[in-house]
Amino acid sequence: MKIDKNTINKIARLSRIKLDDKESEDYIKDLNSILDWVEQLNEVNTENVEPLSNISSSILPKREDVSKDTNSSDEILENAPDKLEGFFAVPKVVE
Amino acid sequence: MSNSSLKQALKDLDTKKISIRELNQDYLKRIKEKENLNIFIHFSEENVLKQIDNLEKDNSTKKLKGIPIAIKDLFCTKSMPTTAASKILENFNPTYESFVTQKLLDEGSIFVGKTNLDEFAMGSATNTSFFGNTINPLSKENEPLAPGGSSGGSAAAVAADLCLGATGTDTGGSIRQPASFCGIVGIKPTYGLCSRWGIAAFASSLDQAGIFSHNVEDASILLQSIAGFDKRDSTSAKIDIPNYFENLDDDLNGKTVGIPKEYSIDGTPLEISQIWEDAIKVLEKKGVKIKNISLPHTKYALPTYYIIAPAEASSNLARYDGVKYGFRSEEIDSLDEMYENTRAQGFGREVKRRILIGTYVLSAGYYDAYYLKAQKVRKLIADDFNKAFKECDFIVTPTAPSAAFPLNEKQNDPIKMYLNDVFTVPASLAGLPGISIPFGKDKNNLPLGIQILGKHFDEQAVLNAALSLERSYE
């Protein structure tokens, strides 16, 4: 089994998602079955194969490096759950 | 259902046989009648009437003036909220317009509403939405069927004749599979043809906007409208967009179709193999040369996809942290608590599953074994297609391994659910254009779909072949 309780807790922590015990159990099961299934890729010989990260066959154009002001802070803050004097507000970080 | 075409509606508007108001009121009436199908996440009659008022005052000529279009609720729209079918974006009102929807607005189309989808486009049945299932309009009473997914709301909106076209997005089959399930046309263009600007990101190297319509001609008109270069999307292609509609040509004499033997998969229902054979026979009669081809890495496409897509999703969805927009948990004793509770309560089960798996395959010690390996296999899959297209002009396969299945049938086993995408995912990994058109029925009289794949940026060949098959079937 690749994913145990410790691993799922570590991944959940990295993902910043709180899991309860029941959920952890379920995800351990799901993730192990998915990982077993994707393991079939090991049958494929990929020696000397370049990884493909961008499929676009067109040449990606360059642009001039000039700054442009497109957003106002008012607009950016419009959907914030909490804001304070032109800033996003979050719980206190430093005591 | 009137099932009129967009092309016909444009003609009727042009000759003043019908007014913009009359046309749209007809659609508004049906939208209200079909509320039980849960097709729209956001619908406001007032908003539609306001758009009609504005267009009536507008004397300029516009290509899609007055045409009712439904928008998948993954596209940011200034005039309507955008949720991605997630609690985490409940009450999100974008302050900007997506590239694709802006193009449609510029052409004078009317947005009838925002359609339901799988949460963040992750699913194949529109059953992971925070706002509940969408019901396939082809369902019999008391036997609700899934519309497919993730763009199930958009496909259902066209099938139920609640609009003359709809936008969708396709990451692994999310346009083609629901089009097949709902008996309509759905096209996913080449990666890069339509800008991703303003579309809530799922897997950025795969996401592509596309179109649902009643027929191939309408698809070509709408695709034309949403394609084009956009400097705000770094993978947007700087190419001249042909006039797909003007160039439509159903004469396929002398063309070569590729039939990939790896798409004959054990366990595929006989009906699916049958419509595939029928389509090939039709093409042969039209003077198309049949070429058996091989795409040897096909069977590895799904596991490759289910590493790459969740990996990219885990990164893309990191932005939903309860700080900048959307939902924030009430339990916020510390900053980390706020993140963890917001994401635990804001995301649904399938989305969390994919974030977790994506985080795992990208984490230290596993990156090479999973993510890098998948990217290498992806290269081999893309190379298979490149080789195959040296011998043929387009490829024909079934779209999905089944007709529409009953709602909730495939929920428990994730891998079983992922198998829905078996015929659509390979082309997504290779960034190729693909269309699904209705072609034949199963024993329950439900529509089945045929998929046509083309070379990069050769949407025209795909549309032409689709038109030819559509005309032979009608």
**pLDDT tens column, A24-78:** 999 999 999 999 999 999 999 999 999 998 887 656 677 789 988 777 888 889 9
pLDDT above 70 covers a percentage of chain B that reads 99
**Cβ-based contacts of A81 with chain B (< 8 Å):** 322-323, 325-328
Asked if the model's pLDDT at residue B452 lies above 80, the reply is yes
Q: Is there a contact between B429 and A55 if contact means CB atoms under 8 Å apart?
A: yes
Q: Is there a contact between B323 and A81 if contact means CB atoms under 8 Å apart?
A: yes
Round to whole Å and give the CA distance between B40 and B30: 13
What CATH code is carried by the domain that includes residue B230?
3.90.1300.10
pLDDT per position as a tens digit, B199-258: 999 999 999 999 999 999 999 999 999 999 998 998 999 899 999 999 999 999 999 999
Say which CATH topology domain A5-43 has.
Histone, subunit A (1.10.20)
pLDDT per position as a tens digit, B395-447: 999 999 999 999 877 566 777 788 889 999 999 999 999 999 999 999 999 99
Helix intervals (H) in B72-136: 99-106
Round to whole Å and give the CA distance between B461 and B442: 28
Residue B270 covered by a domain: yes
Residue B417: give the domain boundaries: 1-295+398-474
List the single residue in B with minimal CA-CA distance to A82. B323
Tokens 């695709």 belong to residue: B223
Identity at A20, one-letter amino acid code: D
Tokens 């977790």 belong to residue: B356
Round to whole Å and give the CA distance between B110 and B163: 9
Pairing of strands B68-72, B447-453: unpaired
Q: Report the gap between the CA of B88 and the closest CA in chain A (Å).
A: 11
Q: E strand or H helix at B182, and its extent?
A: helix B176-182
Question: Quick one: pLDDT band at residue B314, thresholds 50, 70, 90?
Answer: very high
Asked if the model's pLDDT at residue B474 lies above 80, the reply is no
Q: Is there a contact between B234 and A42 if contact means CB atoms under 8 Å apart?
A: no
Whether the pTM exceeds 0.90: the reply is yes
Burial environment of residue B7 by CB neighbours within 10 A (0 to 12, 13 to 18, 19 or more): middle
Measure Cα distances from B232 to A36, A70, A95, B199, B472 in Å.
39, 12, 41, 12, 41
> What's the pLDDT at A59?
66
List the single residue in A with minimal CA-CA distance to B354. A31
pLDDT per position as a tens digit, B58-89: 999 999 999 999 999 999 999 999 999 999 99
DSSP state of B242: P
CB B178 within 8 A of CB B155: yes
Which residue in B99, B262, B356 has the most chain A C-beta atoms within 10 A of its own C-beta, making it the best mutation to test that interface?
B356
**Cβ-based contacts of B314 with chain A (< 8 Å):** 15
Asked if the model's pLDDT at residue B2 lies above 70, the reply is no
List the single residue in A with minimal CA-CA distance to B333. A91
pLDDT above 90 covers a percentage of chain B that reads 92
Round to whole Å and give the CA distance between B47 and A22: 44
List, in order, residues 6 or more apart from B127 with CB less than 8 Å away: B118, B133, B146, B149, B407, B408, B411
Residue B102 covered by a domain: yes
pLDDT per position as a tens digit, B373-398: 999 999 999 999 999 999 999 999 99
**Cβ-based contacts of B188 with chain A (< 8 Å):** none
Question: Quick one: pLDDT band at residue A85, thresholds 50, 70, 90?
Answer: very high
Say how many domains are in chain B: 1
Residue B167 covered by a domain: yes
Angle between helices B6-14 and B20-33 (to 10 degrees): 140
Residue B377 covered by a domain: no
List, in order, residues 6 or more apart from B179 with CB less than 8 Å away: B148, B155, B185, B186, B212, B399, B436, B437, B438, B449
Residues of B involved in catalysis: 72, 150, 174
